[in-house]
Structure 1
Amino acid sequence: MDLKELPSNVGDDNISEEANSLISSLPLCTDFQGKKLCNYQGCWYKYNTLQGVLNFQRGFEPQDTDIILASFPKSGTTWLKALTSALMERSKNHSFDHHPLLSDSPHGIIPFLELSVYQESSSPNLAKFSSLPRLFSTHMPLHAMHETLKGSPCKIVYLCRNVKDTLISWWFFRSAVNKIEPNRSLVESTFEAFCNGTIYYGPIWEHVLSYWRRSLENPKQVLFMRYEEMKAEPRDQVKRLAEFLGCPFTTEEEDNGLVDEILDFCSLRNLSSLEVNKTKIFNKVDRSIFFRKGEVGDWKNYLNPEMENKLDMIIQEKLQGSGLKF
């Protein structure tokens, strides 16, 4: 990313005069795709995303029963949302024939706070969240929500994924969004952006660590999950998630195979085959591109040894002393 100084006149029709004024005082950069980013409270945002963050910080009033699903982009967010929806809905639906996931995407069912709910206003209509608990999601680092959630016992689930696989997933996703070939030049520029931290919602290290540290301090409020463990031990991890959400599986449900049914229903294979995820649009993006491989270790097919070693060194440096390892 080019950390050159950008013009102070950063007017944007989609953001307020107040936000424009703030942006003009922030560190700015242009990312590897020519998109403008600004650094607010240590995190890089697109200008319209910052507007959503500011609206959230100003207007969100947490309820004790709220559940917030958090992740860095391309870390298994769609899967986590689907699983959470299936777990929370099972008391209402004893079959999957009329499940909400059949008529809406996981991102529609559990919307992003800063990208959807609070994108246009600090006081949105929350009527659709009348049933409790309210389910939200975010890509914000935890420190961006600290003051807003201060004193609230609402639960947060954070899903962490290996940085290298996140990088490759991000490369493919951005290529698909922009309808361009995922070429070598783009993966190299994505790699550099991850390394120097100037990536949308980055630096990824600070993002992950903000939730990791809080999960150690208050494990009853923040559940830290790993994508790789969810893939390796899906039954154990979905039961762990259900327990944390306050809806543990009963012995009868387990004996009747409900855990496996939910895992199958929320699998990449099944979700990607649903008509609602093949033909519709989410935030001006084809829903189908939210489903690719979902594999662990796919980065080995794209990163050379030099890239691998450089990332390993940065990871070791950034996570040193935290107790967190990839």
Structure 2
Amino acid sequence: MEKSDLTVVSDIAQFLEVEELSEECRELISSLPTEKCLLFGNLHQYRGFWHPTKILQTILTCQNQFEARDSDIYLVTLPKSGTTWLKAMAFALVNRTQYDPKSTQHPLLSYNPHQLVPFLEFPHNDVVSSTPRLFSTHLPFVSLPESVKKSGSKIVYLCRNPKDNFVSRFHWQNKLRRQELGSISLEEAFESFCRGVYIYGPIWDHALGYWKQSLENPERVLFLKYDEMKEDPGNHLRKLADFIGCPFSKEKESFNVVDQISELCSFDHLSNLEVNRTGKLPSGVINSNFFRRGEVGDWKNHLTPQMAQKLDEIIKQKLGASGLTF
């Protein structure tokens, strides 16, 4: 491991280090199922989902204090499901009248998308503000602040094939794990994934929560799939623009604005920008860590046929007759 990687691990560990928990959080934790996290510290099962201690504290604070606006837009993903890509696209869409996608001064050329779209459950240190407000979150629907649920805001959910999500998450975990703990084995990570015991997991319940909302309230919740967006980014960009209230006019279409935003936000373009090759977020994560491969079907290079079949069977069982498939 390079020295720079050691610094990142130290910064991440420090970022998630528990400082002082509220009495509410301490009492809650005492009543929750708790397991060791593969990265560091503990995970607590709150409302059916697993969260590190510090993140659980931030969730409670967010639930108690955050005030939603009807004009807000919330981008929801599980980690390693296209979060960075979705943030870039939404930011470019909402701000396209202020920032031309061809401009050499566009914020996406100078800032990582995570700096431009803050996480709902963490302090909002916006670098570039937007109107309407844009937030991202990994929270399951059940844990969103009530003000968000009761508002007229828009929710965009992006999910990824569980097998690809697992592989991407596996690599991510080993980049962040403390060196003295050694690497996480594929088998160990897979066992936790199949049990649903990992940060913000399990994937099937997370996706189902928003899938059901998209069926019941399609005007408020847009459900997208990573694989389908990779196959046809232009049409999905149009769908996203229509949903969040900034559709493309025929005039704009004639100037290839859709293609320009697609290119600006593409994996190849973002991953090769200087800010994303060398920059680092306040949490300690190096920006380049958000860009591994971004491919569909990479799981075939890592999972045995037996592992793939086992996960397929689990997902099929958990999703049942919901209509949601991967």
TM-score (norm 1): 0.89
Question: In the alignment, is residue 24 of structure 1 matched against residue 18 of structure 2?
Answer: no
Question: In the alignment, is residue 97 of structure 1 matched against residue 81 of structure 2?
Answer: no
**Does the CA contact (< 8 Å) of 2:196 and 2:203 recur in 1?**
yes
**Distance (Å, rounded) in 2 between the aligned partners of 1:250 and 1:275:** 33
In the alignment, what sits opposite 1:322?
322
Between stretches 237-246 and 92-101, larger displacement belongs to: 92-101
Deviation at 1:179, TM superposition (A): 7.1
**Distance (Å, rounded) in 1 between the aligned partners of 2:38 and 2:99:** 45
- Residue 188 of structure 2 aligns to a residue whose secondary structure is helix
Deviation at 1:151, TM superposition (A): 2.3
Structure 1 residues 323, 90: CA separation in 2 closer, same or farther (over 3 Å shift)?
Answer: same
**Distance (Å, rounded) in 1 between the aligned partners of 2:127 and 2:286:** 27
In the alignment, what sits opposite 1:112?
119
**Distance (Å, rounded) in 1 between the aligned partners of 2:279 and 2:20:** 24
**Distance (Å, rounded) in 1 between the aligned partners of 2:291 and 2:142:** 29
- Residue 173 of structure 1 aligns to a residue whose secondary structure is helix
In the alignment, what sits opposite 1:295?
295
Gaps of 5+ in 2: 1-16
TM-score (norm 2): 0.89
Q: Deviations over 1:241-260 (max 9, x none)?
A: 01101111111221111111
Aligned positions, number: 307
**Does the CA contact (< 8 Å) of 1:67 and 1:135 recur in 2?**
yes
- Residue 113 of structure 1 aligns to a residue whose secondary structure is coil
- Residue 51 of structure 2 aligns to a residue whose secondary structure is strand
Deviation at 1:321, TM superposition (A): 1.0
CA RMSD of aligned residues (A): 2.1
Structure 1 residues 192, 27: CA separation in 2 closer, same or farther (over 3 Å shift)?
Answer: same
Deviation at 1:14, TM superposition (A): 4.3
Structure 1 residues 263, 73: CA separation in 2 closer, same or farther (over 3 Å shift)?
Answer: same
Which letter maps to 2:186? V
**Does the CA contact (< 8 Å) of 1:14 and 1:48 recur in 2?**
no
**Distance (Å, rounded) in 1 between the aligned partners of 2:148 and 2:213:** 13
Question: In the alignment, is residue 224 of structure 1 matched against residue 201 of structure 2?
Answer: no
Q: Deviations over 1:258-280 (max 9, x none)?
A: 11111111111111111111222
Deviation at 1:142, TM superposition (A): 0.7
**Distance (Å, rounded) in 2 between the aligned partners of 1:204 and 1:311:** 11
**Distance (Å, rounded) in 2 between the aligned partners of 1:179 and 1:287:** 19
Deviation at 1:114, TM superposition (A): 1.1
In the alignment, what sits opposite 1:209?
208
Structure 1 residues 174, 14: CA separation in 2 closer, same or farther (over 3 Å shift)?
Answer: farther
Deviation at 1:187, TM superposition (A): 1.7
Which letter maps to 1:23? I
Deviation at 1:126, TM superposition (A): 8.4
Aligned pairs for 1:198-277 within 5 A: 198-277=197-276
In the alignment, what sits opposite 2:55?
49
Percent of aligned pairs with the same residue? 48
